[in-house]
Amino acid sequence: MVGDESDPPPTTCPECGVGCQLTRGPDPDRARGRKGPANPDGRLCRRGATTFGRPPEAERLRRPRVRRDGELTPVSWETAMAAAAEGLADARDATGPDSLAFLGAPRCTNEENYLLQKLARLCGTNNVDNRARLCHDQTARALADRLGWPASTNGLDGLRSADVILVVGANPAARQPVAFDSFVRPAVRDGATLVHLDPVGNETTRLADVHLAPRPGTDALLLDHLSARVDARGGVDESFVADRTRDADRYREELTALERGDAAAVAGVDDAAVDRVAELLCERDRTAAVVGTGIDGQPPVSAPDALLNLLLLTGNVGRPGTGLYVFRGLVNEQGATDAGCVPDKLPGHVSVTDADARERVGSVWGVDPPKRPGLDAKALVGAFGDAVRAALVVGENPAVSKRPDEWLDRRLGGLDTLVLVDAAETATTPYADVVLPAATGVEKRGTVTNLDRTVQRVRPVRDPPGDARPDFEVLRELGSRLTAPAQFDFDGPDEAFDELADVSPAYAGLSVGETKSSRQWPGDAGSTLYEDGFETADGRARFVGVQPPVDAGDDDGLRLVSVGRANDDAATRGDRDRVRIHPDDAAARDVATGETVAVTDGETVVEAVAETTDDVRRGTAVMHAAIADPLERRGDPNVAVRPLRSAPATQE
Ligand SMILES: Nc1nc2c(c(=O)[nH]1)N[C@H]1C(S)=C(S)[C@@H](COP(=O)(O)OP(=O)(O)OC[C@H]3O[C@@H](n4cnc5c(=O)[nH]c(N)nc54)[C@H](O)[C@@H]3O)O[C@H]1N2
Ligand SMILES: Nc1nc2c(c(=O)[nH]1)N[C@H]1C(S)=C(S)[C@@H](COP(=O)(O)OP(=O)(O)OC[C@H]3O[C@@H](n4cnc5c(=O)[nH]c(N)nc54)[C@H](O)[C@@H]3O)O[C@H]1N2
Ligand code: SF4
Ligand SMILES: [Mo]
């Protein structure tokens, strides 16, 4: 039971990776902001203020259910847990540990994530992942491989002392609004220059001094081009490059081979504007970069690597006011990875192939974790019904996907056992064999780690509805049923955190006491990482080569850009239902603002309301992920937009 004290202690907003502090106010439906490291003014955004209503009370799951004769039937916790454990154990015994999949949980605490991956590994598999991670995968990999840690290099407060802030493929003004308003906006007010690099103008662009709108997918080329300009202008920080990096010579040789002007033409940006940004980078002392989902996921090209090259070339890593910020999405996306919910990494980002690391973890766990990396979230769902026979899904909704419905139906329906732990009914529930009702982030205890590595307390500010329980309890119970009970004999989250800090190099020495309510990892560094050296074998950061050439795309079609997330329950209809195109493209297609149009990849047709706007670069069509998803299934980035009135009648 949660006490009724008039000023309850604060908890961390469960809605996004910024990690604002909040508490219950006099109005039970509205959260009240409390000062914290990420919201120093105690501010909340609309989404945070309304978190108590998410998911809506009426949609909350209250009872455990088990499928009987085809129907999900309410049962006791004991019956549900027995069924869940039996389903997972049966698959493991019949087809081996790698026939299990563990998916989740960026919505869950560090302690819950720690338990989830420990459960997977003590069951004998590294098949544990979460899909939110994959949206920032290239950025995280670039950071980990080249600097040391897959996380923002600096604390949010560092943005206040930046001279130039480069926002790439992100819309923090709308998606991480309190971080934007508390750190970016004041920096700009004090004279910092905001450069927005995005094919679409959005809320963030409104504050920007320069907007570079490259063709989607050409960022790496544009960023390499910027580096070439900086080098040509003499803007390279030669002593930083000489003392702290390696492989710069080869990179700079490749830069000189880039054709002037050509790169700008392929990226479709004004060459003079590129020059202006290069000049800024040369003249100003401190540049920080903020990235979102828009520059990730374009293999074989890695735009984050090109961005990191640019920052290293200009000496913009390892000092306050510089660095690379990964503006993560979900509340504990950073912490889920840190805690080891990754198929190839143990807690603290050490490789499962590292024998010493396995042994160190094994000495605490009683057995060594498996050495073969598991499958990632995408591959796991792809193996459902084949190699994977049973899955535990904690706070994820894999039925929302870019894959065709029939494919998903076959995958999700092909499992022998699907155990779902969620706070609400989702599109995945109809496939579940066991459904366990979860408490949400405002109803449980533990810690979460935000987008600048700050570990903060989560405290229950109300009771969960019905029989819903914190994921921690569910995972502890499953762990003791499926593995050595002593390994899951935790008193509560604090004991699990201590074990996490014990086995994890990142968290080593970190403790988050009741009084000291936030700490940044790694425990021995300040908020700025790499001031004295990089966490690499030789302490230096490596340059990688100029990225391979990109295909600028087909000039006849419109290149589809999807923004937002399919699962954003806060998106307004106006946001969700429209397609935005440039006025010239609209005129060429005889499309007017406000009219209903068909957007098609040649196979799937999606109806949307047209909006013509200069915010969108020529040759692109911008849609919300909620309706754009079906158009992305074929992997062809081009779509046609035509007025519905001239669409051919469907055949009878
Ligand atoms: N209100 C609200 N806030 C949220 C969420 C929510 O559901 N609602 N979800 C949270 C989550 S989970 C996430 S992951 C974050 C997402 O946060 P963001 O990543 O900031 O989300 P988007 O608004 O989709 O911004 C992506 C940007 O990338 C741009 N882009 C697309 N392709 C390219 C390209 O090739 N190059 C470049 N440079 N840019 C490109 C798009 O035009 C778009 O402006 O938001 C978080 N915040
Ligand atoms: N096709 C497609 N795929 C996408 C995206 C897209 O736009 N389209 N977006 C990508 C992005 S950016 C993200 S972040 C992911 C998001 O994908 P998911 O994480 O799968 O989706 P969400 O709807 O954000 O959250 C899943 C569930 O968590 C539950 N939940 C909330 N709090 C708790 C809790 O404390 N415990 C438990 N057990 N459950 C809880 C909610 O009820 C919700 O049903 O999807 C990625 N994949
Ligand atoms: S910015 Fe994010 S963490 Fe802060 S109140 Fe808004 S949703 Fe919550
Ligand atoms: Mo996300």
Structure tokens at 134: 């994959």
Taking residues 210-238, what's their average pLDDT?
96
Residue 301 in contact with ligand 3 by CB distance below 6 A: no
Give the pLDDT score at 652. 38
177 lines ligand 3 (CB under 6 A): yes
Probe target for ligand 1 pocket from 51, 131, 136, 171, with the most ligand atoms within 8 Å of CB: 171
In angstroms, the CA 334 to CA 320 distance is: 21
Contacting residues for 458 by C-beta, under 8 A, at least 6 apart = 11, 12, 14, 109, 441, 444, 445, 446, 447, 448
List the Cα angle 413/416/421 in 5-degree steps: 80
Strand-pairing partners, residue 578, are 609
pLDDT of residue 372: 98
Q: What per-residue confidence (pLDDT) applies to 420?
A: 98
Buried-exposed string 481-518: b where 16+ CB fall within 10 A, e elsewhere: bbbeeebbebeebbebbebbbebbbbbeebebeeeebb
Q: Is the pLDDT of residue 526 over 80?
A: no
Average pLDDT score over residue span 319-343: 98
pLDDT at 646: 55
Distances (CA, A) of 377 to 133, 343, 345, 380, 488: 9, 9, 14, 5, 25
pLDDT at 516: 59
- Tell me the per-residue pLDDT of 575-599, one tens digit each, with 9 for 90 and over: 899 999 999 999 999 999 999 999 9
Asked if 173 and 202 touch (Cβ cutoff 8 Å), the reply is: yes
CA distances 386 to 374, 411, 539, Å, are 15, 8, 44
DSSP state of 184: I
Q: Of 183, 182, 190, 212, whose CA–CA distance to 307 is shortest?
A: 212
Q: Work out the pLDDT band at 514, boundaries 50, 70, 90.
A: low
Predicted pLDDT at 388: 98
pLDDT at 205 over 70: yes
Within 13 Å, how many C-alpha atoms sit on residue 501's CB side?
A: 20
The pTM assigned to this predicted structure is: 0.97
Q: What DSSP letter does each residue of 235-266 carry, written as one string?
A: ---HHHHHHHEESHHHHHHHHHHSPTTHHHHH
Name which of 523, 541, 519 is nearest 532 in CA terms.
541
Q: Please determine, for residue 530, whether its predicted confidence score (pLDDT) is greater than 70.
A: yes
Ligand 3 atom nearest to 177, measured from its CA:
1
Whole-number pLDDT of residue 651: 44
Q: Going from the N-terminus, what domains does the chain have, and what CATH number goes with each?
A: 11-54 (2.20.25), 59-133+333-520 (3.40.50.740), 137-326 (3.40.228.10), 558-646 (2.40.40.20)
How many A from CA of 449 to the centre of ligand 3? 13
DSSP characters over 518-532: EEESSTTS-SSTTSS
Write down the pLDDT at residue 228: 96
Closest CA to 170 of 267, 307, 325, 291: 291
Q: pLDDT class for 166, splitting at 50, 70, 90? A: very high
Spatial neighbors of 485 by CB under 8 A, at least 6 apart, are 479
Tens of pLDDT, residues 403-442:
999 999 999 999 999 999 999 999 999 999 999 999 999 9
Q: Is the distance from the beta carbon of residue 19 to the nearest atom of ligand 3 less than 6 Å? A: yes
More confident residue, 84 or 633: 84
Best mutation site among 61, 396, 401 for ligand 2 pocket (most ligand atoms within 8 Å of CB): 396
pLDDT at 163 over 80: yes
557: confidence class by pLDDT, cuts 50, 70, 90: confident
Residue of 62, 326, 397 best suited for mutating to test ligand 2, as the one with most atoms within 8 Å of CB: 397
Q: Which pLDDT does position 548 carry in this prediction? A: 84
Q: Which residue has the higher pLDDT, 647 or 201?
A: 201
What confidence score (pLDDT) does residue 297 get?
87
DSSP symbols for 35-93: --SS-TT----HHHHTGGGSS-GGGB--S-EEEETTEEEE--HHHHHHHHHHHHHHHHH
pLDDT band at 554 (very low <50, low <70, confident <90, very high): low
Phi, psi (degrees; rounded to nearest 5) at 453: 75, 15
Is 143 in contact with 300 (CB distance < 8 Å)? no
- Could you tell which of 46, 51, 138, 175 is best to mutate to test the pocket of ligand 1, judged by most ligand atoms within 8 Å of the CB? 175
pLDDT of residue 183: 98
Ligand of minimum distance to the alpha carbon of 14 = 3
The ligand with the least distance to the CA atom of 175 is 1
> Quick check: CB of 44 below 6 Å from ligand 3?
yes
- Asked if residue 443 has its Cβ within 6 Å of ligand 3, the reply is no
491: region left, alpha or beta (phi > 0 left; psi from -120 to 50 alpha) = alpha
Sheet holding 31-34, edge to edge: 11-12, 21-24, 31-34
Instruction: Say what the pLDDT of residue 424 is.
Output: 98
Q: In the prediction, which pLDDT does 4 show?
A: 45
Does residue 647 have a pLDDT over 70? no
The per-residue pLDDT for range 305-318, each reduced to its tens digit, is: 999 999 999 999 99
What are the tens digits of pLDDT across the range 23-54?
A: 998 898 999 999 999 999 999 999 999 999 99
What pLDDT is recorded for position 555? 59
- Hey, is 417 helix, strand or coil? strand
Backbone angles phi, psi at 191, to 5 degrees: 115, -5
3-state secondary structure at position 193? strand
Q: pLDDT at residue 300 above 90?
A: no
Instruction: Write the residue with the smallest CA distance to atom 34 of ligand 2.
Output: 440
Provide mean pLDDT across the span 234-252: 98
54 C-beta closer than 6 A to ligand 3: no
Percent of the chain clearing pLDDT 90 (strictly above): 87
Distance separating alpha carbons of residues 231 and 235, to the nearest angstrom:
6
Protein residues placing their CB within 5 Å of the ion ligand 4? 132, 135, 329
Percent of residues in the chain assigned helix, strand, coil, to nearest 5: 35, 20, 45
Helix, coil or strand: residue 345: strand
Give 18: exposed, middle or buried? Use CB within 10 Å, 0-12, 13-18, 19+: buried
Q: Could you read off the pLDDT of 46-72 as tens digits, one per residue?
A: 999 999 999 999 999 999 999 999 999
Q: How far is the CA of 567 from the centre of ligand 2 (A)?
A: 6
DSSP 328: -
Nearest CA to ligand 2 atom 26: 396
pLDDT exceeds 70 at position 519: yes
Give the Cα separation of 156 and 531 in Å (integer): 16
* pLDDT tens, residue by residue, 334-352: 999 999 999 999 999 999 9
Phi-psi category of residue 230: left, alpha or beta, with phi > 0 → left and psi -120 to 50 → alpha: alpha
Q: With 60 as the cut, is the pLDDT of residue 459 above it?
A: yes
Report angle CA 574, 293, 521 to the nearest 5 degrees.
125
What was the pLDDT predicted at 148?
Answer: 97
Mean pLDDT, the chain, integer: 94
Task: Give me the pLDDT at residue 8, please.
Answer: 76
**Percent of the chain topping pLDDT 70:** 96
